[in-house]
C-alpha cells in the first residue's frame, strides 16, 4: 500500500521537476503579492507589523489556490487519471499522494520563504518562528481542502475562478487562527499555543476527511 503512495508521490515530484517554472511561478506570485502591499498601504513600520500576518496568510491562500488548478488537470487531460481510477488500488491513497506532492511543491516553499517575508514586514524573531510553525501546520490543510474543489471543478470552463469561489470560504478557519497566532506572537509568545493546537487539529481532521471527499469528487467528475 505504501508502495503505491510512494510511486505516485515520486512520479508527481519528478514531473514537477521537469516543469520547474510552474512551481516557481507560484512562489514568485506569493512574493510579489506580499511585496505589493507595503507599496499600497505605506511603508511605516507600525502599519506593516499590524498588516503583516494577515497579508502573508491571504497571499499564501491565494498562491496555494492558484496552484490547485493544476493538481489533477494534467493527469486528467492525458488520461492518466482515468487509468488511476481503474486500478484496484485505493483511490484515497492515490489522492493523498498527489496532495502531498502538491504541498511539497507549493506549501513547503512558502514555509521556507516565511522568514524573508517576515523581515519585509519588520516582524520580530519569535513572531517569524510562530509564523513558520503556523504555516507548516496550515498550508497542508489548504492543499487538502483545496483538492476537493480541484476535483469538483475538473475540466470545467473557467475552472480556476470557480475554484476560488468554492474553496476560499472554506479556508477561513485556517486564515483566522493562522494569522491570529502570528499577531499574538508579537505580544505574548506562550499564548499562541492554543492557536497552533487548533491548526494541528484542523490538519488531522482534514487529513482523514478531505482525501475521502476528494476521491468521491473525482469519481463524480470522471465517470
Binds another protein (CB under 8 A): choice among 166, 186, 203, 207: 166
Q: Does 64 bind another protein (CB under 8 A)?
A: no
Q: Does 187 bind another protein (CB under 8 A)?
A: no
Residue 1 near residue 90, CB atoms below 8 Å:
yes
Site string for another protein, 99-138 (x = CB under 8 A): ----------------------------------------
Judged by beta carbon, residue 14 or residue 172, the one nearer another protein is 172
Please choose, out of 5-13, 53-61, 65-73, 163-171, the segment that lies near another protein by the rule CB under 8 A.
163-171
Residue 150 near residue 163, CB atoms below 8 Å:
yes
Tell the smallest beta-carbon distance from residue 159 to another protein (Å): 8
Size of the site for another protein (CB under 8 A): 34
Judged by beta carbon, residue 44 or residue 77, the one nearer another protein is 77
Binds another protein (CB under 8 A): choice among 24, 156, 204, 208: 156
d(CA 93, CA 96): 5
Q: Does 79 bind another protein (CB under 8 A)?
A: no
Indicate the burial class of 208 (C-beta count within 10 angstroms; 0-12, 13-18, 19 or more). exposed
Binds another protein (CB under 8 A): choice among 61, 184, 185, 211: 184
Q: Does 96 bind another protein (CB under 8 A)?
A: no
Binding residues vs another protein (CB under 8 A):
145, 148-149, 152-153, 156-159, 162, 165-166, 168-170, 172-173, 176-177, 180, 184, 191, 194-195, 197-198, 202, 209, 213, 216-217, 220-221, 223
Amino acid at each position: 500500500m505504501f508502495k503505491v503512495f510512494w510511486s505516485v508521490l515520486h512520479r508527481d515530484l519528478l514531473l514537477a521537476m521537469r516543469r520547474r517554472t510552474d512551481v516557481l511561478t507560484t512562489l514568485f506570485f506569493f512574493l510579489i503579492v506580499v511585496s505589493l502591499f507595503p507599496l499600497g498601504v505605506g511603508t511605516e513600520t507600525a502599519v506593516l507589523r499590524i498588516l503583516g500576518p494577515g497579508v502573508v496568510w491571504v497571499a499564501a491562500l491565494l498562491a496555494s489556490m492558484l496552484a490547485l488548478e493544476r493538481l489533477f488537470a494534467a493527469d486528467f487531460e492525458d488520461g492518466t487519471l482515468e487509468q488511476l481510477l481503474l486500478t484496484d488500488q485505493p483511490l484515497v491513497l492515490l489522492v493523498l499522494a498527489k496532495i502531498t506532492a502538491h504541498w511539497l511543491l507549493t506549501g513547503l516553499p512558502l514555509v521556507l520563504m516565511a522568514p524573508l517575508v517576515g523581515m519585509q514586514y519588520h516582524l520580530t524573531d519569535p513572531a517569524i518562528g510562530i509564523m513558520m510553525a503556523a504555516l507548516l501546520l496550515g498550508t497542508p490543510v489548504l492543499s487538502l481542502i483545496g483538492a476537493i474543489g480541484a476535483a469538483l471543478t475538473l475540466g470545467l470552463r473557467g475552472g480556476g475562478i470557480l475554484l476560488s469561489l468554492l474553496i476560499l470560504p472554506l479556508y477561513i478557519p485556517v486564515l483566522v487562527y493562522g494569522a491570529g497566532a502570528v499577531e499574538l506572537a508579537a505580544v505574548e509568545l506562550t499564548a499562541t499555543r492554543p492557536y497552533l493546537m487548533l491548526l494541528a487539529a484542523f490538519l488531522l481532521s482534514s487529513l482523514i476527511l478531505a482525501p475521502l471527499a476528494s476521491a468521491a469528487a473525482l469519481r463524480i467528475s470522471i465517470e
